[in-house]
């Protein structure tokens, strides 16, 4: 090997290490956060902007990931050419910051989301196989599950009062966030059991048992419902594959899904009392604990002063001290920092145009997911995110683990299609 080849190999080796370290640390801080656990902290809309340590850590990771992709810019452009709509949406959100009343804040929040996009690009380019990617997630989630279990058993601060009883919040600030993190951990455990080739699955099954126990202890109805729905989807998908009737089995499968959806919509209109009974059994009401009121308020406030098609600008609504929030807080007892619906948040900030791009993005993802790649199982993280965003806003939100995993899964699929590699 010539001196030039050795130097080139050394550079690529260093870039690979940078990409791996950046991705692992990025995931680590998404799971464990940048604040000390077990504290009674009040989360507000400016929490992440004012956290100096968080800013330093994540800015460094964005920079390192960017350095790693500069020498492989051709691969980056190839992925962007395949995925298209996520990049277009990021450009639209950047443009929307120009008409935000708080352009500086909007731009900072955009940098954080775009930084996550860069981290994802670096990871899918340099991590050399699906198995290695899953191992990264597996090692981190198993550490998180173990420490969370020890916390709820030993540390009193790992639980909190909720509606007259104690529920688990583990290492997270709130039980719902804890439920969301444990839901992700549970899915990663299931992926590991199914796709990682290990001689002994005992640890995997033990982690699955503990993660399910923690999920129940969190009493996060949304996360529990998402896991059940994903299980039904996986079962239906497996069943339609085993029918062996080709397009006929797919027709039956999609007809079943559409029938369930039609039944749900019809029940809302014709038999609301029936749904009230179901949601009541799950600890919810038809307003989703007052969330529907918030939806109406934020839509009315946002579009009373901004364009329905353009929105108020990315990151421009949930700004502490803004007239929008002052008006919202005068109408509600609670002081929400999101609309508790990701699609409403996208609409009020990026307008009908932004929401339309996201819808096209989702359709494009599932259309291309039909192609034979080794990234098929990651679609369940996308589906989980889409369902969660019916009651929580995590899509393209700072510090939202499911929002980040939606973006990662999206880019991962198109990186496999772009390179046509079965790694």
Name the pLDDT band for 246 (thresholds 50, 70, 90).
low
Measured CA to CA, the distance from residue 278 to residue 282 in angstroms comes to 7
Residue 184 has pLDDT above 90, yes or no: yes
Neighbours of 103 (CB within 10 A): 16
Average pLDDT of the residues in 173-193: 90
**DSSP symbols for 154-189:** H-GGGEEEETTEEEE-TTSSSHHHHHHHHHHHHHHH
Residue 117 has pLDDT above 90, yes or no: yes
Residue 2 has pLDDT above 80, yes or no: no
Residue 285 has pLDDT above 50, yes or no: no
* Helices then strands, each counted (H, E), the chain: 17, 2
Q: What is the pLDDT of residues 329-361, one digit of tens each?
A: 888 877 888 888 888 899 999 999 999 999 999
pLDDT, position 279: 52
Measured CA to CA, the distance from residue 383 to residue 184 in angstroms comes to 12
Backbone angles phi, psi at 287, to 5 degrees: -95, 5
Q: How many CA atoms lie within 13 A of 133 on its CB side?
A: 24
- Residue whose tokens read 């993190």: 181
Structure tokens at 57: 């850590």
Measured CA to CA, the distance from residue 89 to residue 354 in angstroms comes to 7
Chain centre to alpha carbon of residue 72: 27
Measured CA to CA, the distance from residue 352 to residue 349 in angstroms comes to 9
Structure tokens at 124: 């899918």
Measured CA to CA, the distance from residue 126 to residue 423 in angstroms comes to 12
Residue 190 has pLDDT above 50, yes or no: yes
Name the pLDDT band for 289 (thresholds 50, 70, 90).
low
Measured CA to CA, the distance from residue 417 to residue 186 in angstroms comes to 27
């Amino acid at each position: 090997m010539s001196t030039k080849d050795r130097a080139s190999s050394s550079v690529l080796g260093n870039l690979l290490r940078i990409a791996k370290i950046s991705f692992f640390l990025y995931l680590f801080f998404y799971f464990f956060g940048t604040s000390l656990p077990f504290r009674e902290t009040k989360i507000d809309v400016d929490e992440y902007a004012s956290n100096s340590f968080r800013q330093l850590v994540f800015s460094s990771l964005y920079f390192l990931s960017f350095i790693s992709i500069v020498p492989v810019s051709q691969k980056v452009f190839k992925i962007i050419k395949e995925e298209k709509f996520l990049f277009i949406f990021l450009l639209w959100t950047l443009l929307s910051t120009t008409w935000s009343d708080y352009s500086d804040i909007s731009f900072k929040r955009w940098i954080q989301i775009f930084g996550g996009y860069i981290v994802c690009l670096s990871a899918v380019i340099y991590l050399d196989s699906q198995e290695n990617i899953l191992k990264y997630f597996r090692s981190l989630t198993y550490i998180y599950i173990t420490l969370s279990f020890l916390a709820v058993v030993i540390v009193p601060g790992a639980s909190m009062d909720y509606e007259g009883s104690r529920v688990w919040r583990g290492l997270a600030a709130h039980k719902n966030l804890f439920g969301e993190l444990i839901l992700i951990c549970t899915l990663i455990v299931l992926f590991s059991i199914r796709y990682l080739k290990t001689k002994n699955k005992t640890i995997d099954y033990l982690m699955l048992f503990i993660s399910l126990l923690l999920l129940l202890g969190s009493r996060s109805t949304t996360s529990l419902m998402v896991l059940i729905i994903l299980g039904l989807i996986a079962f239906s998908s497996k069943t339609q594959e085993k029918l062996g009737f080709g397009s006929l089995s797919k027709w039956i499968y999609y007809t079943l899904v559409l029938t369930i959806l039609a039944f749900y919509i019809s029940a809302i209109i014709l038999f609301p009392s029936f749904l009230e009974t179901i949601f009541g059994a799950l600890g919810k009401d038809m307003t989703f604990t007052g969330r529907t009121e918030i939806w109406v308020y934020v839509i009315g406030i946002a579009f009373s002063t901004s364009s329905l098609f353009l929105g108020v600008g990315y990151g421009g609504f949930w700004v502490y001290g803004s007239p929008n929030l002052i008006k919202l807080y005068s109408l509600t007892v609670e002081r929400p920092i999101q609309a508790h619906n990701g699609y409403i948040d996208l609409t009020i900030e990026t307008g009908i145009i932004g929401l339309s791009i996201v819808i096209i993005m989702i359709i494009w993802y599932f259309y291309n997911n039909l192609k034979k790649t080794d990234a098929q199982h990651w679609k369940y993280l996308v589906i989980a995110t889409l369902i969660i965003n019916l009651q929580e806003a995590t899509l393209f939100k700072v510090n939202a683990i499911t929002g980040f995993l939606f973006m990662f899964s999206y880019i991962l699929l198109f990186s496999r299609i772009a390179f046509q590699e079965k790694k």
